[in-house]
Amino acid sequence: MKLTILGCYAATPRTITNPTAQVLEIKNRLFLIDCGEGTQVQLRKNKIKFSKINHIFISHLHGDHLFGLIGTISTFSLLGRTTDLHIYGPKGIKELILLQLKLTESWTTYNLFFHELESKESEIIFEDKKVIVKTIPLKHRVYTNGYLFQEKPDERKLNVEAVQNYDIHVAYYQKIKNGGDITLDNGTVIENEKLTFDPAPPKSYAFCSDTVYHEAIIPIIENVDVLYHESTFLESEAALAQKTLHSTAKEAARIALKANVKQLVLGHYSTRYDGLERFKVEAEEVFPNVLLADDGLSFEF
């Protein structure tokens, strides 16, 4: 998986920071997560191919996660897109986008599918051969979902040497990769584990923004490789975090620790702070593997 942060600052855009948007690449699929104002420009700056984005996930209907969506949808049309585009987000998002398209008389050149979310339980909202996406119900001032992206396990890797030693015909290779045992002509059964290696373990990524400290998400995100958890504030503003239903860096770290994730990525910083290093210091008091998101940061895991 490869995560590119297009924007990771809260609310008010400034000249040098961008509201929430990120792109997750999994096995040649690009998923756009949230779409604050200016996202299409950030996509260009980060050289992300517009045409490869077929799925957009919106966490909640606040402007700093949403106001770039209509422009992105419109630009896709200007570029002559014909591939289907799927949009996942809270109920209301369809009306919001369709009214804007209607009043601006700008119909899309492609099919636009809306998947409106209302459930307060985690649910599977996307699945194909390689990837599965589930919602992570969050607790914020409006109906909000995080998203859990999981690779499906790859097929088993052929142990070429073993297969040749047993003189197994190539016609059986796919059966072996699918996990099947083999019966030789002499009747001997060769168990699959003697013919294959384990594939690379499937990776997972959890996006959780915006939310107050909310332990109910822990069973859903347990053991993920990377957790992006909002940290709008530092502990010095814990009361404000509680009031506005946001989290502090330390609270994000507590969630990471309790969910046993491998890597925590902090983001959605309030623009009141100068510099981000204090977010890292505060989180690392609780959880060791902390990365600070920043606009334009890209990393593979």
Beta bridge partners of 290: 264
Q: Which amino acid is at 290?
A: V
Q: How far is the CB of 134 from a second copy (least distance, A)?
A: 24
d(CA 5, CA 18): 10
d(CA 34, CA 208): 11
Q: Which amino acid is at 190?
A: I
Is 210 labeled as ligand-binding?
A: yes
Q: How far is the CB of 213 from a second copy (least distance, A)?
A: 22
d(CA 167, CA 161): 10
Q: How far apart are the first and last CA of the chain?
A: 6
Q: Which is nearer to a second copy, 14 or 169 (by Cβ)?
A: 14
Is 65 labeled as ligand-binding?
A: yes
Bond prior to 210 in cis (omega within 30° of 0): yes
Is 229 labeled as ligand-binding?
A: no
| Selection from 220, 275, 211, 296 nearest residue 248 by Cα | 211
Please state, in angstroms and as integers, the Cα–Cα distance from residue 206 to each residue in 81, 142, 262, following that order.
Answer: 29, 20, 11
Is 60 labeled as ligand-binding?
A: yes
d(CA 111, CA 101): 13
- 64 catalytic per annotation: yes
| Selection from 171, 178, 142 nearest residue 60 by Cα | 142
Q: Which is nearer to a second copy, 114 or 126 (by Cβ)?
A: 114
> Which among 34, 64, 128, 274 is annotated as catalytic?
64
Q: How far is the CB of 291 from a second copy (least distance, A)?
A: 25
Is 294 labeled as ligand-binding?
A: no
Q: Which is nearer to a second copy, 9 or 149 (by Cβ)?
A: 9
| Selection from 5, 67, 62 nearest residue 33 by Cα | 5
Q: Cα 52 from chain centroid?
A: 16
d(CA 20, CA 228): 12
| Selection from 37, 69, 71, 75 nearest residue 55 by Cα | 69
Q: How far is the CB of 209 from a second copy (least distance, A)?
A: 16
Q: Which is nearer to a second copy, 76 or 213 (by Cβ)?
A: 76
Q: Which is nearer to a second copy, 47 or 129 (by Cβ)?
A: 47
Which residues of this chain interact with a second copy, rule CB under 8 A?
11-15, 37-38, 40-41, 44-45, 61-63, 66-68, 70-71, 74-75, 78-79, 92-93, 95-96, 99-100, 103-106, 141-142
Q: How far is the CB of 224 from a second copy (least distance, A)?
A: 29
Q: Which residues make up each annotated binding site?
A: 60, 62, 64-65, 140, 210, 268
Q: Which residues make up each annotated binding site for Zn(2+)?
A: 60, 62, 64-65, 140, 210, 268
- Tell me which residues are annotated as active site: 64
